[in-house]
Structure 1
């Protein structure tokens, strides 16, 4: 944008990467610091940055027409995949397992009472438990009784068990051959319910004040949990992020850019952002030629060049740094099963052997 406007108006420029105090721009002890302070005192002609502005800033500097909308985003480390030896339980949810266990424990009792009501002398409660489990495992069914009520009861359970067995085995094949995706957070509400600590660099950003003053309870909780870290080194923050117990909070565009420059790839962003402000260039108050910049900034927005440039620059920087965006849900092609895929089966078998040993000792 600056190159094109400079060519149109025939001016050159010198870029300062950051202000001398390293701050974005806040009021401290009656003095404006950071980029806002330097522009206000006309130490700089104008400022280009992805920065949300407040009403206090609006009174001391001028802002151009907005050229994009940005918001505060939260970056987290990609979650670790669930252990593969749990693959044997993944096909059914935990509440389904609980309901199935309740059925297995309770069904033998009414079945036993029905058979006893017809004076079947061979009936026993332990045998009814074996018959219920036999049906779940799709073993050959035996005739428990010739009574119609017993046959209807057994047939209904056989039908339900067949659906459960087919559903389980079908999902089991999928979970063994394709690793389960790790659970990723998507909203701020989910984030505050975890033990993850959000952190933000202490360079005068308005995020802590916005969060603490928010009328939204979730955002206020996020603000109370917020950890301020040194603004001198983003690398320290990314090192904490790698531990998995911290989350990085900052402006979405700036955070993405900083992550690229620090070669951080094993991360993802919450889909939900908050406080989406309009982003503008910053000029000294009552700058006479601000409208000249407004004209072309508006044209850049209307033509779609802003979005094109952001996408192109991001891809260009990644390409030059030989970086690829990490994808935790990348699909794998066909492959042979290995021991890691089937270790849950051996674990179950080992548990069965231990139960046999205990039962054998008790029988002595």
Structure 2
């Protein structure tokens, strides 16, 4: 009996082995055909990067003639182990330049865990190809590392009517089935190269509907006009815009009043703080405060397209007006005064000298009075002067009228509007001035960015930068006290700085520089970047969002009246036309003088004949 049992077991093993080999070969043919259809069909224009485990590599290699000869895109390949041990550039593992295709027999949980330990893995499009019907594709699709991708397409071998085929699916974690379960795996049906011939067929939007989910916001409601507290609730332009998105995409959200560590979000000792830490490890989904798009944040987090962009601005103490007693000198610059005085002296002395040498006129004082009368716009009587002298004085008086009229108009402005000395209006001028820089230290990266800047003016400002820690009661009191003394300029985002200027009654004694440290966007997302990429971009082009932004900025809408300016002095270049006119008159009078001179020379000769 025992011998019969052993014989039966041996015979069963032979049958199993005989049936396994042909089935494996058949599977190999199906795999070859399906993957070839995939890369030559919807992925024919994608740059592909195949990641294959050891068993999958024995069944199919991405080195077939057709794959290597794709006319548009390139193809890379690696094994799971080799990929983890070799460094690859960031553009290969994240973004939309390369589409990874992960091919595996065994569930790649070790690979996914290793990739999820850092921020380098973040491809926009991801293709998963499972060559085993026993693998749990739902568990694979639900892995957090897989869910980082905006678009996901999955293929898995299944048995249908005794044949091996591929089932296609994606992941819609925000949607629910009829039983209320999350559609982590949402089947498309069996693979059909005709139904999946286009790229859009395998990569549909995954977040067109959130199914009533509640999202946790990493926010700080102290970011006027984007987020601020009113009647105990957090509101603002960004909250209203996000509420419109929530209504459209069918989700609700919970707003956090402030981060636990009261930091905005920067890297300290290699770890994110503030709202960035809430996104990374504290269970928050989205941050909608004002954030600058720097390289560190772009490396570790996803952003939507910004619908509003502004920079950091400088608020400086307004210098006191110039003294009233010498306002008669303000309309002209020193160079202009010098030009007026010099030209008047030149015209008076040269005209007196020529009249004395040519006509023997000894009355020098009378000539000086005639020249000076033009500058002072006084009438004079000209008798018995030669024609060339009349032309000379005519053009000089015309130039003098223009200069004196400009002076009179400018003098009226200076007598009615306060005049201020020259003040810093550019970053370079601020760096060259005696004014230092102050910023509230709430975890912003701007101080470190200034210190590492290669721009000479920004580097000089970094040397003059003073910071004070964030104080819940009055975080800006120290900075504004220094601003009132005229020793420091306060650095903050442009909109919020205008709001602070109004709230602290600094409008009359301060101004905001036109020049800003540029760079920044409003909306920032965590792991759900794909959900809001399209809708935020669409809102940015709509009138409703412009209305929200204008309403949210209402508190700082009057900043245009804060720039109190006195009249600028008239430079020589602005009145060069009057001097050119005078020069032209000198030429004409010279021609008249030459004509009179020749006429006098010719008159005696005619009489003698």
Structure 1 unaligned segments of length 5 or more: list them: 332-364
Please state how far the C-alpha of 1:104 moved relative to its aligned partner: 3.0
The reply on whether 1:109 has 2:109 as its aligned counterpart is: no
Matches within 5 A, 1:171-320: 171-176=410-415, 178-179=416-417, 182=420, 186-232=425-471, 233-266=475-508, 267-283=510-526, 287=527, 289-315=528-554, 317=555
Q: State the secondary structure of the residue aligned to 1:249.
A: strand
Matches within 5 A, 1:26-175: 26-42=266-282, 44-118=284-358, 120=360, 122-124=362-364, 129-141=368-380, 143=382, 146-175=385-414
Say if 1:114 and 1:149, in contact at 8 Å, map to a contact too: no
Per-residue Cα deviation, 1:274-309 (whole angstroms, up to 9, x for no partner):
3323333242xxx3x553344543443232443322
Alignment counterpart, residue 254 of structure 2, candidates 13, 22, 29: 13
TM-score, normalised to structure 2's length?
A: 0.45
Task: Identify the residue that residue 25 of structure 1 maps to in structure 2.
Answer: 265
Q: State the secondary structure of the residue aligned to 2:489.
A: strand
Structure 2 unaligned segments of length 5 or more: list them: 1-240, 567-609
Counterparts of 2:411 and 2:261, CA distance in 1: 58
Cα RMSD after superposing both structures: 3.6
Counterparts of 1:158 and 1:86, CA distance in 2: 27
The alpha-carbon distance between structure 1 residues 172 and 56, as it changes in their structure 2 partners (threshold 3 A), is: closer
Please state how far the C-alpha of 1:263 moved relative to its aligned partner: 4.9
Say if 2:263 and 2:274, in contact at 8 Å, map to a contact too: yes
Q: State the secondary structure of the residue aligned to 1:20.
A: coil
Please state how far the C-alpha of 1:151 moved relative to its aligned partner: 4.3
Rg (Cα) greater in structure? 2
Say if 1:50 and 1:253, in contact at 8 Å, map to a contact too: no
Please state how far the C-alpha of 1:312 moved relative to its aligned partner: 0.4
Say if 1:78 and 1:268, in contact at 8 Å, map to a contact too: yes
Say if 2:427 and 2:515, in contact at 8 Å, map to a contact too: yes
Counterparts of 1:116 and 1:97, CA distance in 2: 29
Say if 2:498 and 2:556, in contact at 8 Å, map to a contact too: no
Please state how far the C-alpha of 1:73 moved relative to its aligned partner: 1.9
Per-residue Cα deviation, 1:174-207 (whole angstroms, up to 9, x for no partner):
544x425656654333433433323222233222
Greater strand percent: which structure?
Answer: 2
Please state how far the C-alpha of 1:234 moved relative to its aligned partner: 1.2
TM-score, normalised to structure 1's length?
A: 0.71
Say if 1:265 and 1:325, in contact at 8 Å, map to a contact too: no
Counterparts of 2:515 and 2:459, CA distance in 1: 16
Aligned residues: 320
Higher relative contact order (CA 8 A, sep 6+): 1
Please state how far the C-alpha of 1:218 moved relative to its aligned partner: 3.5
